[in-house]
Structure 1
Amino acid sequence: MARWTSRALALGISLLALAAGGLPAASHAAAPAAASYPDKPLRLVVPFPPGGATDLLAREIGNALGARLHQSVVIDNRPGAGGNLAAMAVARAPADGYTLLFGTFGSLAVNKSLYDKPGYDPLKDFAPVASVAYLPNVLVVNPSVPARNIDELLALARRDPGKLTYGSFGIGSSSHLAGELFTHLAGVDIRHVPYKGSAASMTDLLGGRITMMFDSISTALPFVREGRVRALAVTTERPSDQLPGVPTLAQAGVKGYELTAWFGVAAPAGTPRAVIDRLNADIVASLRQPDLAARLAQQGTVPFPSTPEQFGAYMRTQYEKWDGLIRSAHIRAD
C-alpha cells in the first residue's frame, strides 16, 4: 500500500496548481483560421439521463457556448455502461467540431481501468477541449455514529474491522472510489455497500442501515443543515465555502487524500486545432461570467476552466492515479 500511496502522490495533479498555470485568454485569435466554423448546430453528448446533475451542468454550458458561437448546441443524452456509450459515440464521430462529449471523471479517466473493453481509449480517441467544473464531495455519517471527527471515525474502524460500512452510487462511481481511497490511505477495513444511485444510498444512511457515505455537497448539504447526517470532512484539496469549519480529509490526517468529481468537454481525436481553440476560448469566457458562475454554485459545482493542454495533462494524471487504486483494490465494473 505504501508503494501505491507514493505513486499516487507523485502522479496527483492539483486543481490549484492547474489554475495557477494561467487560464487561456478569452479571445478569438483562432477564429480567422476557423472562419466558417460553426455553420450548423453542434451536438453535446451527455453520458447520463436528463435531469441529473451532469445533465443540468451540460445544459448550462451548452446554452452559454451556443450563445457565443451563434449556433444551437443540442444536448444528446446517451446513458449506459457508466458513460461508455456516450464516449464511444463521440470517439467515432467525424472530427469536425460538431459532435462533442461532455465528459466526466468516469468516462475520461476511470472507465479505461474499470472495464475490460470500454470501447474507446480516453487518452487516444479524444482531443481535450477544456475542463469545465468540479463537484466537491463530503464524507457524512449517520448521527448515531459516535464519531465527530476523522480521528474518532478511524478509531472505531480499527476497533472493529469490517463492522463499519460506506454506501456508494455503484461500482466504480466517484463515491465508491472515494471510499476505496479512504480505506487504502488510512489503512482501515470498512465494508463497501453499492447502491443504484445517490438517493438509495442516502435513504439507507438516514435510516442507519449504513454508517457513512461520500456524497456530493449539493446533495448532502440539506441533510447536514437539518442535522440528519453529520459532515466530517470534504474530499477536495481545500475546504468548501458551503461547509465552513469542515476540514479536508488531508487536513484531518489522511495524508495525500484528494478526490474530485470533475467535468470537461472533449472532441474526437483529429479535430482541427483552430476549432479546439475556438471552443476553448468560448467555454472559458462563459465560465468567467458571474451569472453562470452563480448558477453553477447553486448546483454545488465550482468552475474549473483550463487550456486544452492543461486539461489533457489532468486527464492523463487522473487516469494514472485511479488506475493504480483500481488495480490494487481489484475493482471491476464488468
Structure 2
Amino acid sequence: MNKRQFLRLPLLSAIAWACVAGTASAQPSAYPGKPITIIVPFAAGGSTDTMARLIGKKLSAHLNQPVIVENRPGAGSTIGSAIVAKAPPDGHTLLVSTISLAINASLQPNVPFDAVKDLQPVTQISSLPLVLVVNSSLPARNLREFVELARNRPVKLNYASSGNGTSPHLAGEMFKTMAKVDMVHVPYKGNAPVMNDLLAGHVDAHFGLLPAMLPQVKNGKLRALAVTTEKRTPALPDVPTLAESGFPDYEINSWQGLFAPAQTPPEVVRRLSEVMNRIIDEPEFRTSLSKEGSDPVGGSSEQFTRHVENEVRKWARVVKESGAKPD
C-alpha cells in the first residue's frame, strides 16, 4: 500500500459510514417519522370511534408520535376506507374499521377500492357478538318458541335493523334462510330509532350488537334468546348460542380491526402489529373491552388477513342469497 492509498482510507471509511447511516434512516425501522392519522369511516360518538380514540392514545404513547383520529363517514363506511386504501403506503395513514368492510365488498355498488387487494390487515382488535333480542312482551321465552311463533302466527313477525346491508340485517336474513321462516325486515337509520321502537313494542325482534343490547337485557326490558357466536359470551353466560339451539352452522362475529394501505412495508406492518398486540394485552384495555361486551382478539397480520378474506367470501354469499341492497 502506498502513501496515497493509505491517506484515502479515512475518507473512504467516512463515506461508507455515511451511506450506511443514510440507508438506515430511510428504512422502515425509522417508522414512524411523523404524526399518524387514523381514519374512522363512521360518525363520531359510536363504538368504533370510541375504540379508535383509545387505540390512538395508546399508539401515540408506544410510538412517540402524535396520533390524530379523523371521522370520515359516508356511503356505508366506504368513503373513509377508500381514503386509506389510496393513501401513501408508509404506515402513517391507518384505518379502524369493522365487519362492514367485508359486507360492503359485495353489497355497495361501485366500491372504489378492493377490500382484499387495496388494504393490508394489521391486527384484529376485538370480536363483538350479536344477540337476538325480543321485546319482553313477546310470547317467546326461547329460540324454539320464537321459531314456532314465526311459523304459525297469522301476522308475520318483523325484525328491525340499523339499515339495509348492515350486519343486523344480514344476520336476520341468515336466520330466515336457516330456520325456514318468513319475517318482515324493518330497516332504520341507525341504532337509536331501532332501540326506541323495540322497547316500545313497535317491532318484534332485532339482531343487535351485544354492547348496545346488554343494558336493556339486564334490566329486563328486552329478552335475549340467543347469541350468534360459536361459544356463549361471558357477558350473558345463561343465553345459548344459535348453534346449540338447533342451528349448528349459524355463526356471526362482528369485529373491529386496524388496517394500513396495501404495499405498506412488511417491517412497518410487523411493528404496528407487535405494538397493537401489546396494547390489547394490557389489563386496562381488556377490561374496557369486556365492560362493553366485546372480546379482545389480537394476533398476527397474517391471521387477520385470512379472517378478512374469509369474511369477504362469506358475506358475498349472504348478500347474493338474501338479495340485500344498500340504503
Same fold by TM (over 0.5)? yes
How many angstroms apart in 1 are the aligned matches of 2:280 and 2:248?
Answer: 32
Give the SS at the match of 2:244.
Answer: coil
Give 1:176's match in structure 2, choosing from 156, 169, 172: 169
Contact 1:131–1:265, Cα closer than 8 Å, also in 2: yes
How many angstroms apart in 1 are the aligned matches of 2:66 and 2:77?
Answer: 23
Between the aligned residues of both structures, percent identity stands at 44
Is 1:67 the counterpart of 2:61 in the alignment?
yes
Aligned positions of 1:48-127 closer than 5 A: 48-107=42-101, 109-127=102-120
How far did 1:254 drift? 1.6
Cα separation, partners in 2 of 1:161 and 1:100, compared to 1, 3 Å: farther
Give 2:134's match in structure 1, choosing from 133, 141, 144: 141
Give 1:260's match in structure 2, choosing from 227, 231, 253: 253
Equivalent in the alignment of 2:228: 235
Contact 1:42–1:99, Cα closer than 8 Å, also in 2: yes
Give the SS at the match of 1:116.
Answer: coil
Give the SS at the match of 1:240.
Answer: coil
Q: State the AA in 1 paired with 2:139.
A: P
How far did 1:162 drift? 6.4
Contact 2:29–2:267, Cα closer than 8 Å, also in 1: no
How many angstroms apart in 2 are the aligned matches of 1:262 and 1:45?
Answer: 16
Aligned positions of 1:204-243 closer than 5 A: 204-243=197-236
Equivalent in the alignment of 2:16: none
How far did 1:33 drift? 5.7
Which 10-residue stretch deviates more, 271-280 or 152-161? 152-161
How far did 1:244 drift? 2.1
Equivalent in the alignment of 1:41: 35
Count of matched residue positions in the alignment of Structure 1 and Structure 2: 303
Give the SS at the match of 1:242.
Answer: coil
How far did 1:144 drift? 1.6
Contact 1:162–1:189, Cα closer than 8 Å, also in 2: no
TM-score (norm 1): 0.88
Tell me, which stretches of 5 or more residues in structure 2 are unaligned?
1-24
Is 1:317 the counterpart of 2:310 in the alignment?
yes
Equivalent in the alignment of 1:9: none
Name the structure, 1 or 2, with higher relative contact order (CA <8 Å, separation 6+): 1
* CA deviation string 1:214-238 (max 9, x = no partner): 1122211211122111111111111
How far did 1:312 drift? 0.7
How many angstroms apart in 2 are the aligned matches of 1:226 and 1:275?
Answer: 46
TM-score (norm 2): 0.90
How many angstroms apart in 1 are the aligned matches of 2:118 and 2:242?
Answer: 34
Contact 2:214–2:293, Cα closer than 8 Å, also in 1: no
* CA deviation string 1:273-302 (max 9, x = no partner): 000000000001110110111112222221
- Larger radius of gyration between Structure 1 and Structure 2: 2
Is 1:190 the counterpart of 2:183 in the alignment?
yes
How many angstroms apart in 1 are the aligned matches of 2:136 and 2:26?
Answer: 59
How many angstroms apart in 1 are the aligned matches of 2:127 and 2:60?
Answer: 21
Contact 1:140–1:229, Cα closer than 8 Å, also in 2: yes
How many angstroms apart in 2 are the aligned matches of 1:221 and 1:105?
Answer: 20
Equivalent in the alignment of 2:244: 251
